[in-house]
Chains A and B, each alone.
Chain A
């Protein structure tokens, strides 16, 4: 059990890359529907590289591209 130092870090969710169209919902972030795992990985990677973000792989297959703002 641990906690990141410096109180609560703030992140922007830049994009959500999912394989399920049911999870394509509104929001500030860009949400993309990938056709397969390979495409999902490639999209996340390219977005993260371009926008200097980090990729978080969620347990049920979705991928988030986030960027720490503080």
Chain B
């Protein structure tokens, strides 16, 4: 009967691994300027799924050590669970599309959902690595096992975070404030034609007085491939309008001749610095990464 009961060492291993894995998820849930996930319900959902992921990673080693090989197949549950996390995030964000100032777009939503899925893998890998280290070291002094498990977990988290860190628009393009001008009810930003939809005096005077504009110029010709992607521009517009709010009108335009992209709208808060910052920090979507410089990544961080 006693052989069926899990040993103290394994209990400690599971607890340490679950704690490290859950910690990894806590550290990767960040509420930054994008205000997502929303506090506190979004936090809780992600922390609980992170805990479950960590638990799945933590019990794999004890299961193997007790010759319970079939039990390891529950890792497939983890895969299913994480796919569900991605699906739930995607559905949730799509439901919000009509309620936002401008839409995120499918490409951006896909990127966010994939990130949430990947971060659950962080929790699983960190807890699994932590448990594996404790098993391999197998010192008679339990404190050594615990400390080495925790250290391995955090090293793994550091490497995974750096590896999965994406680039932003600021890495491949210059973003500067644009000068708005109106000629015969046509809107121009830095002399580039944007729209003729401001036909009424109210619209043109509102835009002239309160409008704000940013010009994104690719650092190199080949980065136009990324910047010209519709989903990428939609993501930049979304981040810009969410940061400053949107009173009325939003237009985007790309200039064929030099690849510049114009983003202009009437914000609630007129702050050019925040606009530039929001656009610069917009992540490059995975689906737009079509050249080697943007695609390349390494284990120690950005190039």
* Distance A56 CA – B187 CA, assembled complex (angstroms): 12
Query: Please, which residues of chain B bring their CB within 8 A of the CB of A57?
Result: 184-185, 196, 199
Least CB separation from A4: chain B residue = B253
Query: Please, which residues of chain B bring their CB within 8 A of the CB of A48?
Result: 200
User: Which of B184, B198, B252, B257 is the one whose CB lies under 8 Å from A4?
Assistant: B252
User: Which of A2, A6, A56, A63 is the one whose CB lies under 8 Å from B256?
Assistant: A2
Nearest Cβ distance between residue B284 and chain A, in whole angstroms? 16
* Distance A57 CA – B196 CA, assembled complex (angstroms): 8
Nearest Cβ distance between residue B301 and chain A, in whole angstroms? 31
- CB–CB A44/B200 < 8 A: yes
Query: Please, which residues of chain B bring their CB within 8 A of the CB of A32?
Result: none
- CB–CB A66/B252 < 8 A: no
Q: How many B residues are at the interface, by size bracket?
A: 20 to 34
* Distance A3 CA – B252 CA, assembled complex (angstroms): 9
- CB–CB A63/B230 < 8 A: no
User: Which of A1, A6, A56 is the one whose CB lies under 8 Å from B255?
Assistant: A1
- CB–CB A55/B256 < 8 A: no
Is B202 close to A, CB under 8 A?
yes
* Distance A56 CA – B199 CA, assembled complex (angstroms): 5
* Distance A45 CA – B199 CA, assembled complex (angstroms): 9
Is B193 close to A, CB under 8 A?
yes
- CB–CB A55/B200 < 8 A: yes
- CB–CB A2/B255 < 8 A: yes
Query: Please, which residues of chain A bring their CB within 8 A of the CB of B195?
Result: 4
On whether A56 and B257 interact (CB within 8 A), knowing A5-B252, A45-B202, the answer reads no
Query: Please, which residues of chain B bring their CB within 8 A of the CB of A44?
Result: 199-200
Least CB separation from B229: chain A residue = A5
Is A7 close to B, CB under 8 A?
yes
Least CB separation from A63: chain B residue = B199
Residues of A with Cβ closer than 8 Å to B?
Answer: 1-7, 41, 44-45, 48, 54-57, 63-64, 66
Residues of B with Cβ closer than 8 Å to A?
Answer: 184-185, 192-203, 230, 233-234, 251-257, 261-262
